[in-house]
Amino acid sequence: DRGTLPMVGLVGLAGNIAAIVIICRKERRSTFHHSLVTLAIIDLLFVSIILCDTFCDTSSTIYIYMFPYFWNPLKNILMSWETFLMMSIATERFLAVCHPLVYRAHMVRHSPRVHMMTYIFPSVLLSIIINIPKFFETKFVSRYFINTKNITLKEIDFEITSLR
């Protein structure tokens, strides 16, 4: 329903911003907290894109040019990244709780930045790789039509390819 989506989206935006502000306090500098901030930022971007999809004119020229090679792939990459990042956070928590010696040894051997990237980088890399076909699922087409004044006009649109 288009009436409730904006409200839910705005609540999601506000909740993510509040989570980022709270988690970014000085005393919270662990890999877990960095992963949660990254997840909140990705979710913030994803909800913003969904809200733009709801309110934007999908027949506008700008949207038509952005959709096949930017908007649609970005939306799918962010959605996949959120999923993989949640799995990464769960894995990190599992290791910290069930295998504390292995987890601590990894933290001692590597810098906090390397330790954090161990959990964040694979999720972004995997989400990009998995969504490469999204860039090839649509193509631009030109359609010509004659208006009521007998003038031939050109319309740019996109179509779904056989890959999809």
Q: Are 105 and 19 in contact (CB under 8 A)?
A: no
Local confidence band at 28 (pLDDT 50, 70, 90 cut-offs): low
CB atoms within 10 A of CB 65: 14
136-158: average pLDDT: 84
pLDDT, residue 89, reads 92
62-81: average pLDDT: 91
Mean pLDDT over each residue of the chain, to the nearest integer = 86
pTM as predicted: 0.81
pLDDT tens figures, 102-131? 888 888 888 878 878 888 899 999 999 999
